[in-house]
Amino acid sequence: MTVILRSLETAVPDTVLVQSQVRDAFAAQPGLTRLGQRLVGAAFDSSGIETRYTVIEELTLDRAFDAPVFFDREEMLVLSPSTKTRNEVYAEEGAKLFIEAGRKALEAATGIEASDVTHVVTVSCTGFFAPGPDYKVVRALDLNPSVQRYHLGFMGCYAALPALRSAKAFCEADPDAVVLVISAELCSLHVRSSNNPDTIVGSSLFADGAAAAIVSARDIPLEGPALSLDHFETVLTPVGEESMAWNIGDEGFEMVLGTYVPHIIDDHIVGALEPLLARDASLQGLDYSDIEHWAIHPGGRSILDKVEAKLGLTEQQLVPARETLRDYGNMSSATVMFVLRNILDTPATDGNNRICSMAFGPGLTVETALLTRIGARSSSDAAAAGTTAAGVTVGDAPVAEDLKPVLAEAGA
């Protein structure tokens, strides 16, 4: 049985943060020491980020708001609302992002209707409310009220991969299942001014966004690119529990993101990949760079630098991750799905179409996934190549004739 991610769509809020402008605002905050100011400049300038998105309209910097809560434009002052205040914004604005991303994924999944959805898996670590986002999605998208709902909460940046692994398991248990997976994070709600290096790094990186996917093993012709979900693995590194954490404070959630994290990844990334790559005999003995695509969670530029150097990857193989970081910042769990979307948006090549994905989070936890890109980039691309998306059935999913060798390598 081949389980297919049939659609993958993203959504971001309307307010754009220009990294250089945000840097200047944070560097001008009262209470910063000279060292704190230097750290702000260094963190923002070395982040690899140009723009980010936020649900907090006050952070636009373009105009002042009456009775500001998060940012006083007239005083250029970053405010410190309570965790309750921040979470109330999460409940309202987060629900909108979950619903928008979910609706887009449904609309993009050819042959799938809202009434077909059997499971909903929502993911988030930046807020809480009940009935939660899974409930809001079922109501707003007019899904069957008997849909099975699951919420993966407070796991951190790696949580989208366990969500996709769960979706694969549901489909393997029930070949008729259709799973809607949605990750939405409002990281900007917890941004604050501080002299603490971890807080400064978090302020320079984190942003808001959502991504949603439809996963199923149903025998429905594909239109456009898709992903077969081949294998998933989880590894806990032997060190790092204190280096990356996510705690709840009185004035928002508090990120612990130690500067030693890239070194931990550098030391343990090869071991973290071993159980995943061992699942596929066709990959044994190959260089890491022989796997065409790498969907790496861009936790920060230094993390991507370490991954690229340690695994001997080419600059081109890290482009999807670096472009995602540049254009959107770190949206916690949703970010790796943006990277996968970037890969799907890239015209197919004559390569092997395999994708190795990695995401890192508290623990230090390393989640990995092996996927295969299937289907043409678009119907016009498929026509130009002389193939159709429904050309041949491999497993239970119709795919193009020229992809049969690729899926054979994937064990499909």
Active-site residue set: 157
Return d(Cα 214, Cα 114) in angstroms, integer: 11
Give Cβ neighbours of residue 339 (< 8 Å, ≥ 6 apart). Answer: 295, 296, 297, 298, 320, 321, 324, 357
Return d(Cα 97, Cα 185) in angstroms, integer: 9
Question: Using CB atoms within 10 A of its CB, is residue 120 exposed (0-12), middle (13-18) or buried (19+)?
Answer: buried
In 159-196, alpha helices (H): 160-173
The token pair at 84 is 């309750």
Q: Output DSSP code: residue 75.
A: T
Return d(Cα 306, Cα 259) in angstroms, integer: 13
> What DSSP assignment string belongs to 309-376?
HHHT--TGGGHHHHHHHHHH-B-GGGHHHHHHHHHHHSPP-SS--EEEEEEEETTTEEEEEEEEEES-
Return d(Cα 82, Cα 251) in angstroms, integer: 4
Residue appearing with tokens 């009940």: 130
3-state helix, strand, coil in the chain (%, to 5): 40, 25, 35
Smallest Cα–Cα separation from 219: which of 103, 382, 386, 390?
390
